[in-house]
């Protein structure tokens, strides 16, 4: 009798935790469905042309979102080009090279960098970074300005500032995931390399080779962050829907146009257009995050299988 009532409580308990977990899953699905539903008006009105045209004039009812996609992709990829080598370097240093006493403080500092609110990055961007970039652009040699990369006004506001802010914001994310991945590499990998007489860097290369899939996952996670970053970019990029290769030109991103125009939307079609941009942003980050998670999970499952080996080897050395 007692046993029966106990097992009922078991069923109730697992049912309760399970239903809350279901809420979480439904929430993600719900976000996708609601965004689709709300962007139906523009999908019906413009179809694919929404993503093929460049004219964005809400008052005249013209909605072409190509410049925003361009701005998001261009700024994120440039930011990643800067952030990736730095974050991998940081991860290698913390997990492979640094003395044990430095490890915790460094981890704490990079975590702090990730914890600074995006609005604070934006504030700093407006009042510190933009003047600095303006100065830099002023010093820029005239003959280089013929290249399409460096045309445009020298005002500081624009793509370059956005890329720099994004890079700074992405580094802590990529480096902390890369660090986790490196941590998952079994100790035996390092020990065998050392036993063969490898130098420290050669050992690190072997570790990186072992961890390469997870590192790609870490970089993609950073890309997802860069796609979605809103406030800091909105405050420094100049909000100008224009496609340009130039780093000095004011441009726009998908997240920034939503933040800028949503509350002052001209009409329902405008709202719907902004929601559709949000939908595509959702899909983009979904794909990037899903892919990177699968890559990183592959690494952590490997870790589970190899933990005994690592533990054994640690015991053997100590």
Name the segment binding other proteins (CB under 8 A); options: 53-61, 243-251, 258-266, 306-314: 258-266
Binding characters for other proteins, 218-247, by CB under 8 A (x = yes): ---x--xx-xxxxx---x------------
Binding segment toward other proteins, per CB under 8 A, in 47-55, 149-157, 168-176, 310-318: 168-176
Window contacting other proteins (CB under 8 A); options: 141-149, 150-158, 166-174, 306-314:
166-174
Task: Quote the least distance from Cβ 294 to other proteins, whole Å.
Answer: 9
Residues in the chain: 318
Pick from 151, 285, 302, 306: which binds other proteins (CB under 8 A)?
285
Q: What is the C-alpha separation between 23 and 51, in angstroms, rounded?
A: 33
Please compute Rg for the chain using Cα positions: 24
Measured from the CB atom, the residue of 91 and 244 that comes closer to other proteins is 91
18 near other proteins (CB under 8 A)? yes
Stretch that binds other proteins, among 26-34, 186-194, 241-249, 309-317 (CB under 8 A): 26-34
Which residue in the set 12, 135, 307, 314 belongs to the binding site for other proteins (CB under 8 A)? 12
- Specify whether the CB–CB gap between 291 and 220 falls below 8 A: yes
Nearest CB to other proteins, comparing residues 64 and 179: 179
* Residue 10 CB, nearest approach to other proteins (Å): 5
Cα 85 to Cα 288: distance, rounded to the nearest angstrom: 19
Applying CB under 8 A, among 55, 77, 120, 316 the residue interacting with other proteins is 120
- Which residue, 6 or 318, has its beta carbon nearer to other proteins? 6
- Alpha-carbon gap, residue 88 to 211, rounded angstroms: 12
Select from 103, 154, 183, 293 the one that contacts other proteins (CB under 8 A): 293
Q: Does the footprint of other proteins cover residue 34 (CB under 8 A)?
A: yes
Restricting to residues 49-88, which ones interact with other proteins according to CB under 8 A?
A: 85-88
Count the residues of the shown chain that bind other proteins, applying the rule CB under 8 A.
86
Work out how close the CB of 33 gets to other proteins at its nearest, in angstroms, rounded to a whole number: 10
């Amino acid at each position: 009798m007692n046993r029966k009532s106990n097992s009922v409580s078991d069923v109730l308990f697992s049912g309760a935790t399970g239903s809350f977990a279901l809420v979480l899953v439904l929430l993600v699905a719900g976000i996708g469905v609601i965004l689709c539903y709300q962007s139906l008006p523009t999908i019906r009105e413009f179809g694919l042309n929404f993503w093929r045209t460049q004219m964005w004039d809400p008052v005249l009812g013209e909605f072409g979102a190509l410049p925003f996609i361009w701005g998001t992709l261009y700024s994120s990829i440039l930011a990643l080009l800067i952030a990736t080598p730095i974050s991998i370097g940081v991860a290698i240093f913390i997990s492979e090279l640094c003395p044990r006493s430095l490890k915790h403080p460094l981890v704490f500092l990079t975590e702090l960098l990730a914890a600074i609110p995006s609005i604070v990055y934006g504030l700093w961007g407006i009042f510190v970074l933009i003047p600095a970039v303006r100065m830099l652009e002023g010093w820029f040699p005239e003959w280089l300005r013929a290249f399409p990369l460096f045309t445009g006004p020298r005002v500081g506001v624009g793509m370059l500032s956005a890329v720099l802010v994004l890079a700074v914001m992405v580094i802590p994310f990529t480096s902390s995931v890369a660090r986790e991945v490196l941590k998952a590499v079994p100790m035996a990998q390092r020990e065998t390399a050392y036993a063969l007489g490898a130098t420290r860097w050669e050992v690190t290369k072997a570790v990186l080779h072992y961890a390469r899939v997870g590192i790609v996952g870490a970089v993609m996670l950073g890309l997802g962050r860069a796609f979605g970053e809103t406030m800091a970019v909105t405050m420094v990029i100049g909000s100008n829907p224009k496609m340009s290769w130039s780093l000095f030109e004011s441009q726009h991103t998908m997240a920034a146009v939503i933040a800028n125009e949503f509350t002052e939307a001209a009409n329902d079609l405008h709202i719907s257009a902004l929601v559709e941009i949000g939908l595509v942003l959702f899909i983009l980050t979904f794909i990037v995050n899903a892919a990177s998670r699968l890559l990183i999970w592959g690494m952590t499952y490997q870790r589970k299988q190899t933990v005994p080996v690592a533990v054994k080897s640690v015991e053997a050395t100590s």
